Each structure stands twice: as C-alpha cells, then as structure tokens.
Amino acid sequence: MTTVPQLVEAARKSRSLLLGLRRAAQATSDGGPLFLAPRRGLGHLVERTIQGLDNAGVQFCPLSVTSLIRDGQRWRVEPGGEPFDAVVVATNATAAGRILSPDGPSGLFEIPTASVALVTLGYPAIDLPQGVNGVLVPASTGWLMTACSFGSAKWPHWANPGRSILRVSAGRDRDTRALALGDEELVDRLAGEMATALGIRDQPHTWRVSRWPDSFPQYRVGHTAQVERITDELRRTYPKVTICGASYNGAGIPACISSGRAAARTVLRATRELR
C-alpha cells in the first residue's frame, strides 16, 4: 500500500492485476511522455525551492545537526544552540532516530535503508532495444547491476546523434558489494555486465559515479502500522517536532513532496495549539 499504491488500487478494481493496470494506463494517458524531469536535473527542484523561500524572507542557517534538545516550549539543535518554535526532521529514519535520541521513537531505528550507486556511462551509438526505457535485474542473477536506464532514449535532452548514455544502478537490500569497490572498479564491473546483457562491444568513453549511502528505504511488511506508531509516539513526546521524507509514506518524489507538506501543516498546527 505504501510502496506502490497504484497496484493495490488496480487489484481492487479488476479481476486481473494486469488488466486493471492496463485500464488505468489508458485512462490517464494523454499522449505525452511517460517520464518527465527538469533539463538541469532533479537537483534543480531543490535549488528553485530554496530560491523561492529565500525570496519570501526565509532565513537559511546551514548546520551540522547531531541532536535536538528541549528548551522549555522551544527546541535547540546541537551544535548551534539557536532556539526554534518547531522542527521538521527531513532525514532518513536512522538519522532521525539519532537526532531525536534518547527520548525519540525507537521504531525509527527499525526502518532499514540500502545504499545505492548510480553509474552514468557514455558510449558510441548503441543499437538499443526499441520500445523500452531500460531493464531490471533480479537478485537471483547474482549480478552487481540492479537496473539500467537507457538515458538517451528515455530523456529527449540526453539524446545526441552518434552517442548513447546508459545509467546503471548497483546496490540493494543486503547487497553492499558496490560500497567496497572504488569508482574505476565499479565502472569496469558494471560495463562488463552491460556488455553481457545487451551485447555491447565498445567500452564507455566517459563515465560518472554518484553514490547515495543509506538513501533507499526498505519497507517491510507492517511498515504502515509502524510509521503510525512512530508518529503517535512523536506527537506525545515531541509535540512540535515532526518527520518527513522517503522513509515513511512513499519513496517517490510526489510522495516526498506530500510528506513535506503534511509535516509543515503538523508543526504549524502544533505551534498554534501550544502557544
């Protein structure tokens, strides 16, 4: 329900999951592209958000926060010491648990994360399979690669005659092999697996490695009930502190935006009630 709610909805509305998904896709399709992203990358969303808040008079004070301390009806972050009326902790669950220790919800430490490495590979033009945007690799293969996105086919602004761009993922739940590899070794391993998977003969002429430690939350069975217990305990113990992010109610970008908005409403409501 939390990970892919569209599947639950489709299963409830149809005798067949595949038929339900097909009908849902037909109902929502407007002929436009299936995937959308800013030309300057998803980080541009953050940059524009910060710019808009700054223009609205929001003050930004970058801090390396290690803990949160109650100060009467207000809160102080350490190090730093400046008091705040309310706090939104927008980190993964484990980091939130450390910041809110020792009185914070212990359940935060029970939501695990996996580390992911993304390797972007540039090749001379490759004859890629038509009609698909990438491949997923099951853990049963034993491969290091977990997925490959055909970037130059998926994103029009990546397309360039004479070259192909692939973005390969490594790292999944309980598979930390990518963490132990240096960048060049990681590129060699993944390029080799791509050569086997797609019959690529050329070597990549350029590459970039992006590592995202502890960034991929793992939702276990019962996750929704666990998050409800955490938020209930937080409401009782830290009435003007809330959490948001990918660890709780969905890991996709729309879910994270919704989570952030809900957290803002929560602390505003609590601040008004406790004044």
Q: What is the CATH number of the domain that holds 75?
A: 3.50.50.60
Range of the domain at 65: 61-111+219-274
Query: Same domain, yes or no, for 93 and 142?
Result: no
Residue at 41 is within a domain? no
Q: What is the model's pLDDT at position 30?
A: 62
Query: Same domain, yes or no, for 251 and 231?
Result: yes
Task: Name residue, tokens 């939501």.
Answer: 111
> What strand order describes the sheet that includes 83-84?
67-71, 74-78, 83-84
Q: Is the pLDDT of residue 89 over 80?
A: yes
Query: Same domain, yes or no, for 205 and 160?
Result: yes
Residue at 1 is within a domain? no
Residues 224-271: tens digit of each pLDDT? 999 999 999 998 888 889 999 999 999 888 899 999 999 999 988 888
| Final residue of a structural domain among 217, 249, 264 | 217
Secondary structure of residue 240 in the 3-state scheme: coil
The neighbour count for residue 137, using CB atoms within 10 Å, is: 19
Confidence class of residue 274 from pLDDT cuts 50, 70 and 90?
low
| Amino acid, single-letter form, for residue 146 | T
Query: Same domain, yes or no, for 98 and 232?
Result: yes
Confidence class of residue 34 from pLDDT cuts 50, 70 and 90?
low
Residue at 46 is within a domain? no
Query: Same domain, yes or no, for 124 and 253?
Result: no
Residues 170-205: tens digit of each pLDDT? 999 999 999 999 999 999 999 999 999 989 988 999
Lowest mean pLDDT among 73-87, 107-121, 154-168: 73-87
Residue at 191 is within a domain? yes
Query: Same domain, yes or no, for 67 and 194?
Result: no
> Cβ neighbours of residue 68 under 8 Å, at least 6 residues apart?
75, 76, 77, 78, 87, 89, 99, 100, 238, 241
Check residues 92 and 26 and name the one with the higher pLDDT: 92
Confidence class of residue 83 from pLDDT cuts 50, 70 and 90?
confident
96 burial (CB, 10 Å; 0-12 / 13-18 / 19+) is buried
Query: Same domain, yes or no, for 162 and 185?
Result: yes
CA distance 51 to 95: 26
Residue at 257 is within a domain? yes
Q: What is the model's pLDDT at position 32?
A: 62
Q: What sign does the CA torsion over 12, 16, 18, 19 have?
A: negative
Q: Is the pLDDT of residue 127 over 90?
A: no
Residue at 29 is within a domain? no
Q: What is the model's pLDDT at position 224?
A: 93
Q: Using an 8 Å Cβ cutoff, are 242 and 266 in contact?
A: yes
Query: Same domain, yes or no, for 223 and 235?
Result: yes
Q: What is the model's pLDDT at position 31?
A: 61
Confidence class of residue 19 from pLDDT cuts 50, 70 and 90?
confident
Q: What is the CATH number of the domain that holds 154?
A: 3.90.660.20
Query: Same domain, yes or no, for 253 and 134?
Result: no
Residue at 22 is within a domain? no
Query: Same domain, yes or no, for 125 and 200?
Result: yes
Percent of the chain residues topping a pLDDT of 70: 96
Q: What angle do CA 144, 150, 152 make, to 5 degrees?
A: 140
Beta strand 134-136 with 241-243: parallel, antiparallel or unpaired? unpaired
Number of domains observed in the structure of the chain: 2
Query: Same domain, yes or no, for 209 and 223?
Result: no
- How remote is the C-alpha of 263 from its chain's centroid? 17
Q: What is the model's pLDDT at position 191?
A: 95
| Final residue of a structural domain among 217, 247, 266 | 217
Query: Same domain, yes or no, for 150 and 132?
Result: yes
Q: What is the model's pLDDT at position 130?
A: 80
Residue at 261 is within a domain? yes
- What's the whole-number mean pLDDT along residues 77-99? 88
